[in-house]
Structure formats: C-alpha cells, structure tokens
Structure 1
Amino acid sequence: MRDVAVVIPTLRRPEGLERAVRSVFAQAEALERIAAVVVVDNDPDGSAAPLAERLRSQGPVPLAYVHAPIPGVATARNAGLAATDAPLIAFLDDDEAASPRWLAALLEAQVQTGADVLFGPIRGRVPDDAGWTTAYLERFFGRQGPLRNGLTDDLHGCGNTLMVRQTALPGPAPFDVAMNETGGEDDRLFTALMKRGGRFGWAADAWVDEFAPPHRATLAYALTRAFAYGQSPSQMAADRGDWPGVIKWMLVGAAQAAIWGAASLVFAMLRHPGRAQVYDRCARGLGKLLWTRRFEPKLYGAAMLSRGG
C-alpha cells in the first residue's frame, strides 16, 4: 500500500538535496509505503532539475520533480502537495537527512497515537569551525522531545513531520503564501488545526540530522530566528482572536527581555561560555513583545536567494 508521499522543498542546495533524497531511498522498512518522493525546486532557474532526473533513474521508489519558480516556503509546500494525492504526507527539508527507520517510526507513532500531525527529533549538525557557539548552535538547529511516542501539546516546524492529509492539510493550498519570506506558515496551519480539535503527536525514534550550512551556522542568524520563534506564541494567539492571550504573551515577553537582557550584559562582560543561550532567551522575549508583521524578519523565499540560499 503506497500511501505516503515524502515532500522535499529545495532552493539551490544540490548537495543537501541529494543527501536528503538518498536518505529516503534508504528507508528499507517503509519503502513499500512510499508512493513518491516529491522534489519541489523553488529556484526560479530550476537548477535542481538535472539532479532530480539523475536521482529518479537511481531510486527504488518514484521521484516526481516539481518546479515552483516563485520563491517562498509556503508556495513550495503547496506545490508539493498539488503533485500527489497520497493520503499521508511526510515533509523533509533539503538540509536534513533521515535515519534508516525515520519513516517507519513516524508511521508507527501515527498508528499508536492517531495524531493528525507527527513530529520527530532532530540532531543539529554545524561546521567544525563554529567555535564557542558550537554547543548552542547544535541545540538550536536540533529538536528534542519525550523518549516515548505519544500525544503532545508542543508544536514544531514542518521539517521532519508526518501529516494526515484529510485532517491536517485542508484545501488545495493549506499553507499561507503571505508567510513566504517570513516563515510561520506551519504555525498558522497548526493553529487552525488546533482550533478544529486536531491532535499532535511525537515520534521518539523518527530521527533526522539537520546540517546547518556555514552562512546559517552563525550567532547572528540563530538569534534572528530565535526572535522569529519568539513571535510565534503571540501571533498564534492573534490568529485565534485570543487578544487576552496576546496581552499575556506580550507581558511574558517584556519580562523575559528585561531579565535576560540584563543577564546578557553580564554574561557578555564575563565572556561566559553559555552566553549564547542567554542571548537566545532575550531574543525570544523580544519576539513575543514585538510580534506584529512589521517586525517579522525575512528569512525565506526571495530573501534566501539574496543571501545565496
């Protein structure tokens, strides 16, 4: 029963894309479940086409190539969905590589929990020259969770997920293209699912490695994304129309920014080895406080092209 499509959006990362696709080809326990690997090329120039063609000829499962020339994370995900009618959708990013039991573990957890969306753990990998920020960046690009499968109230990003299409991905374009450059399209999708009574699960053994490229494995980039992550609780409350919740999160953010901002000054003066984590907490507090679209950093889509991916 081939009922799973693995969707891999990509933007000018040929080495990462090949690593990601080959890690799906290596899913020995779940190969018979894979209807297709869908590579969504989000480069206006269609640069991934030759690689996709080569991989198609080498793979043990069908590979579909989709060109989505308008850069944007939501556009790419929607294009991948449009290319398949599989009832189960697994998302893997082009900077990730799945462990050999990744898909089997996601499918097992879905049966156990009945969740509409399953999240899996991630090991962050950074270049060897990351220096004193190495431990922080590995945690930042990673994802930790419970040691056992189960339902969860903790929401994460789309990378390393399995979704039940009928319940979690309604309509032909469930990801909001207004979020193409800022990200957060997954937060908006999951907020709507939560309002509908959807369930979220954790697949403890569905490991992937995420390889941060050098231009992302920096403190500046991580803190910019930490600020964006901090915006999420306030934005999700606003999307629900929960204005008391927005005020609550803004107050939490103000307190966090004040406390961790003061701590950041002290840790910076002492050159404390754990100072990056303190900066991160301050950035997330500021994000809760400054949550409106005006303050959203542009990290994806055309912004990625301008930075070289």
Structure 2
Amino acid sequence: MAEPVTICICTYRRPSLFETLASIAQIRLAEVEVAAVLVVDNDVTDALRSEVTDFAGSYRFPLRYCHAPAQNISIARNAALDGVETRWAAFIDDDEVASTDWLEELYAGAEGAEAVIGQSVAQYGPALPGWAARCDFHSNRITGRVDNAYTSNALLDVDFLRRNAIRFREELGRTGGEDTLLFRQLTASGGRIVYRPESVVYEDVPSSRASMTWVFRRMFRAGQTHGLLSREFDARGFSRLGLTAGAKALVSAAMTVATLPGSDASRRWAARAALHCGALSYRVRPTILEEYGAAPSPTPSS
C-alpha cells in the first residue's frame, strides 16, 4: 500500500492559490493517498486564514493553514517541512495548476529515491510576445545534472531531510536559489534524486515576466547561485570561476551579436551571457540579487 503524502503550497498574496487548490481537488488517485493539503502563508498578517478555513469546509482533502510570516520563502518552506506529519511531502507553487496525474506520476518515481522532480510547464497567452513561447525561458525542466532541481514540482522524503538536518537556507529566502542548494545538500548526504517529466504542473506567464529584462535578471541571479554552489561544493571549480565564467560570458556576448540581435537565437545567447555574468559577479563579490521581498538591492550571502 502506498504511503500517504502531504501536499504543500507556500503562498504570498496570490489569489491564484485557490486555482491551485481547485486543480489539486481534481487529481486522480489510484496508488497515492493524500493525507492533507497544507497552505503556508508567508504574509505579514494571517488575513488569508479565514478564506482557507471557509474553502476547507467543502474541500476534497483535509486542508490546513499555517502562518509563517516574514516575506521569506525559505521560512515558509521550512514551516511546511515542520508541519508535515507524513514521510512524503509534495510541493507545488501557488501560481501553478496540477495536471490530473500530477501526483500519481510524481509518486511513481519514489521507490529508492529521496526526492522526485517533475516538470513545470509555462503557458503563454496570445497577448504575450511570440519570442516568449518560442524561447520558453519560464518552464522548469532538468536538462543537466539532476540536483539542479527546484520545488515548483517536487516530492521530498521529509524523514531523510530531518535525519540529515537539511533545511532551506533562510539567508536565500529573498534571493532565490534556496531550493537548488537544498537539493545539492540532499545529494551530498547520500540522497538520490529522480527526474520524472511525466509529472506535470502548468503556470501561466504574466505579462510582467514576458520581457528580456526579467529574463536577464533571473539568469543573472541563477549565475550567482551557481557561484554559491561552487564555493560550497566545488572549491577547485570556484577558484577557476572567474576565468571560466568570464570566457563563457564573452563567447555568449559575441554570439548574441553574431546571431542577429532580436532573433530567438540571439535572445538565448544573451540569456546565457547574463547567466555567466552572474557567476563572474559572485566570484568577484559574493552577493545575490533579491528576487523576492521589498528590497531590490543585492544582499550578502553567507
């Protein structure tokens, strides 16, 4: 018999939370039991509590509310881990909707693993520029090493995390990258990650994110996160990061121009240049841009 799973949703002032909850209520269950759905509210006040409580009255699964104020996603995710009473916790974002077989497919990869990662597929409306869908900078898929993972569609063995004292790093709670670091810690502790693209969640891309400015900032921050991971897990690679990232940034910048600025290929090369510039920036000065919270300025990372 399958072990029960707690579904965790960390949220901050997004009405789309209730669309996420509605999609979860429609999932197919054959091999999985949902013990509870846990909503972790990262807002300063608990004004959402009454809405979730009202929604819970007619909800398919037991629905619990947890208030974890601070506008810090790591604090919210750690509160989710603390609130889980099952071995397995499935994470989905509050701006995503689950496919019918989302959880079944995710759990199908759990045997012998401590984490299973699915796809997060971006949806581009007709009002967005055409290059956004063609370049698809917004979807989350694993294409390289499997521990370059994310929590937007993930199943975690909470017992394993607790035994190894693995937590989301709070100082990264406004910058992003805290989930990638957690998965790197998981594998360093002997955990196994399985990528299961058959498990799919969907996310509508808002117009505010369908710009190259947003892409550059996201990729630059991702490069800084790479620098942090190199510093903590690959001292030799970190010592050479200035040279390697600098060379890759120059090549990518040259290809941005060579492939006709404004074309899809040029946009992809420009995004790569931003990634490598972020890594180079971290090697020179170890700070990471804040993607979340009120302050837009860089903050030091430890």
**Would you say same fold, with TM above 0.5?**
yes
Match of 2:253 in 1: 261
Which consecutive aligned stretches of 4+ in structure 1 deviate over 4 angstroms post-superposition?
A: 169-173
Match of 2:191 among 177, 198, 202: 198
* Aligned partner letter, 1:128: P
| Offset, 1:302 | 3.7
Q: 1:212 to 1:226 in 2, by over 3 A?
A: same
Distance 1:59 1:252 in 2: 52
Q: 1:64 to 1:58 in 2, by over 3 A?
A: same
| Offset, 1:238 | 1.1
Note if 1:290 corresponds to 2:281.
yes
Greater percentage in helix:
1
Q: 1:70 to 1:172 in 2, by over 3 A?
A: farther
Match of 1:7 in 2: 8
Once the two structures are superposed, the pairs formed by residues 161-240 of structure 1 within 5 Å of their partners are: 161-170=154-163, 174-240=167-233
Distance 1:249 1:32 in 2: 44
Q: 1:109 to 1:227 in 2, by over 3 A?
A: same
Distance 1:279 1:129 in 2: 23
Distance 1:214 1:54 in 2: 31
Equivalent pair of 1:90/1:162 in contact (CA under 8 Å): yes
TM-score normalised to structure 1 length? 0.86
Q: 1:118 to 1:2 in 2, by over 3 A?
A: closer
Equivalent pair of 1:168/1:198 in contact (CA under 8 Å): no
* Aligned partner letter, 2:235: W
* Aligned partner letter, 2:120: I
SS of equivalent residue, structure 1 residue 278 = helix
SS of equivalent residue, structure 2 residue 156 = strand
Note if 1:67 corresponds to 2:58.
no
Once the two structures are superposed, the pairs formed by residues 1-309 of structure 1 within 5 Å of their partners are: 3-14=4-15, 16-29=16-29, 33-111=33-111, 114-136=112-134, 139-145=136-142, 153-170=146-163, 174-240=167-233, 242-267=234-259, 270-291=261-282, 294-303=286-295
Q: 1:132 to 1:204 in 2, by over 3 A?
A: closer
Identical positions, percent: 28
SS of equivalent residue, structure 1 residue 121 = strand
The total of aligned residue pairs comes to 294
Equivalent pair of 2:149/2:183 in contact (CA under 8 Å): no
Structure 1 gap ranges (5+): 147-151, 305-309
Q: 1:225 to 1:169 in 2, by over 3 A?
A: farther
Structure 1, residues 190-228: CA drift from partner, whole Å, max 9, x if none? 222222121110112101102222322322112111111
Q: 1:30 to 1:255 in 2, by over 3 A?
A: farther
Q: 1:32 to 1:116 in 2, by over 3 A?
A: closer
* Aligned partner letter, 1:8: I
Distance 2:11 2:295 in 1: 14
TM-score normalised to structure 2 length? 0.88
| Offset, 1:2 | 6.1
| Offset, 1:294 | 4.6
Q: 1:271 to 1:173 in 2, by over 3 A?
A: closer
Instruction: Judge which range, 99-108 or 204-213, deviates more.
Output: 204-213
SS of equivalent residue, structure 1 residue 13 = coil
